[in-house]
Structure 1
Amino acid sequence: MTLEDADFSGRRLDDMSVANGSKLVRCDFRKAKVQGGGLGGGFEPSFYIDCVFDGAHLKRLVPGRASFVNCSFRNVKIEKMMCHEAEFVDCVFSGLLRDVTFSARPWDNERLGRTRNEYRGNDLTGARLEGVSFRGGIDLDLQRLPAGDEYLLVRDAAQVLERARAAIASWPEDELKMDANPPLSVLESDCNSGQKDIFVEKRFLGRLPETVSRLVPLLGG
């Protein structure tokens, strides 16, 4: 199915379903509220080209095998979206992204027909990222990431985390050690997925302010 210039703006879609190699071109989802369903179901990848999602609220959507090319996600609210087989190229994001995972490593290479999900040219400088993970070997230098004291870019993360582990072991405070271990385990999992550099919120590094203040310089901040 190919759909061009369709207008879904302002619609409430409780169970959106796009699947099986569909192609949406210049479709308008401005201010739509989508609270479930899938954007790329079935075995064949679906494509969104030059589509506009500005002002939309997208929650608990399954991106599936969808490719988004030159799409606009300005002033959006995107929540609880796991992008394990989706890809994004030359897209713009602003607004809030909360509990979102982007991954360059597909779950099912054979059925998807590719070994990598493409991520390049995406602009997230205007977005607020809360609980957002980049995994599977996404090249962060090919994206534009938000700046600010609340974020930290960890280069060569595997080696940095290994040194941080050793430093934490020497801390005399057991409470701080226990606080630091869970977030470091998550970051190590990102590395194990193939991620070279990690972009993280500083507040994610611990419940206690003292934990965060000690970890940030260890991670290069």
Structure 2
Amino acid sequence: MTDVPADRLILDAVELDDADFSGRDLKYAGVVNGSTLTRCDFSRSKFTSGSLGAGYETSTFVECVFDRCTMKDLSPGRATFVNCSFRDVKIRNFFCHTAQFVDCTFTGRIRKAIFSARPTATTRNLGRDRNEYRGNDFSGARLEDTSFRGGIDLDLQRLPEGSEYLIVRNAGDVLERAVEYVAAWSEEDLRQDALIKLGVLGSNVEGGQRDLFVNREFLGAAADRLTALLSAP
């Protein structure tokens, strides 16, 4: 570990077991170049920028604890998280295009996040063409403006339930039928807005996602009508 100010954390190509980083107020955090962290404690820390998987080699977190953390504008980067705990967190702007999560638990609030099984086309030397997502428990989290993309199997995750969420099974066929119905709506503004929403969902299907997890809030003014269409067998 490099000698850096207290509000910065740089872990470059390290292997650490049982390290304590809890309660830190970090203006920048960088876990870099294939670092491996096992049972490390980041609980109650605040992250405001940086990456947990910077560099070209994948960094790995095993049984690490991020409970009660606040993460804003923190990139997961090229990181693999295995059996990690994210309980009672506040996460915002968390875009996981090259990260993997296996057997992790999330509670708290996650806002503006993307979890994707398909790595972005711009990545190099990742060593895989799929990101692994299985055994993760989101059931105790509040997911806002959060999507699962790129072919994540929703049946291999535990997702939150409630009236604010909707799972669209076999979404390609369902969306095709929904577009036909919505195109016949007489209210122009409502119709156009609904078609835009359906187009966004359709782009996720085109990106490889069979089943969709949807925040009903995303559906806008026509949420009730669209929910009925998207829930139809």
Using structure 2 for the length normalisation, give the TM-score: 0.91
The alpha-carbon deviation at position 183 of structure 1 amounts to: 1.5
Q: Following the alignment from structure 1 to structure 2, what is the Cα–Cα distance between the partners of residues 213 and 42?
A: 45
The alpha-carbon deviation at position 44 of structure 1 amounts to: 0.7
Aligned to 1:212: 223
Which runs of structure 2 are paired with 1:112-191 in the superposition (5 Å)? 112-191=126-205
Q: Following the alignment from structure 1 to structure 2, what is the Cα–Cα distance between the partners of residues 13 and 185?
A: 39
Q: Following the alignment from structure 1 to structure 2, what is the Cα–Cα distance between the partners of residues 202 and 164?
A: 15
- Residue-by-residue CA offset, 1:160-184 (whole Å, 9 max, x unaligned): 1111000001111112102212221
Aligned to 1:28: 41
Aligned to 1:111: 125
- Residue-by-residue CA offset, 1:42-88 (whole Å, 9 max, x unaligned): 11100000000000001101111100000000000010011000000
Which runs of structure 2 are paired with 1:51-66 in the superposition (5 Å)? 51-66=64-79
The answer as to whether partners of 2:48 and 2:71 remain within 8 angstroms in 1 is yes
Q: Decide which of 25, 43, 49 is 2:56's aligned counterpart.
A: 43
Q: Following the alignment from structure 1 to structure 2, what is the Cα–Cα distance between the partners of residues 125 and 140?
A: 12
The answer as to whether partners of 2:66 and 2:84 remain within 8 angstroms in 1 is yes
- Residue-by-residue CA offset, 1:64-113 (whole Å, 9 max, x unaligned): 11000000000000100110000000000000000000000012565100
Aligned AA (2:223): V
5+ unaligned residues in a row in structure 1: which ranges?
none
Aligned AA (1:39): L
Say which SS state the counterpart of residue 145 (structure 2) adopts: strand
Aligned to 1:196: 210
Say which SS state the counterpart of residue 219 (structure 1) adopts: helix
Q: How many residues align?
A: 218
Say which SS state the counterpart of residue 9 (structure 1) adopts: coil
Q: Decide which of 74, 84, 88 is 1:71's aligned counterpart.
A: 84
Q: Following the alignment from structure 1 to structure 2, what is the Cα–Cα distance between the partners of residues 167 and 161?
A: 10
Aligned AA (2:197): P
Say which SS state the counterpart of residue 129 (structure 2) adopts: coil
Say which SS state the counterpart of residue 216 (structure 1) adopts: helix
Q: Following the alignment from structure 1 to structure 2, what is the Cα–Cα distance between the partners of residues 14 and 155?
A: 41
Using structure 1 for the length normalisation, give the TM-score: 0.96
Moved more, 100-109 or 65-74: 100-109
Say which SS state the counterpart of residue 111 (structure 1) adopts: coil
Q: Following the alignment from structure 1 to structure 2, what is the Cα–Cα distance between the partners of residues 61 and 184?
A: 29
Aligned to 2:4: none
Aligned AA (1:220): S
The answer as to whether partners of 2:29 and 2:47 remain within 8 angstroms in 1 is yes
Aligned to 1:3: 16
Q: CA RMSD in A?
A: 1.0
Segments ≥4 residues shifted beyond 2 Å: none
The alpha-carbon deviation at position 4 of structure 1 amounts to: 1.1
The answer as to whether partners of 2:56 and 2:124 remain within 8 angstroms in 1 is no
Equivalent pairs: percent with the same residue?
A: 57
Q: Following the alignment from structure 1 to structure 2, what is the Cα–Cα distance between the partners of residues 182 and 73?
A: 33
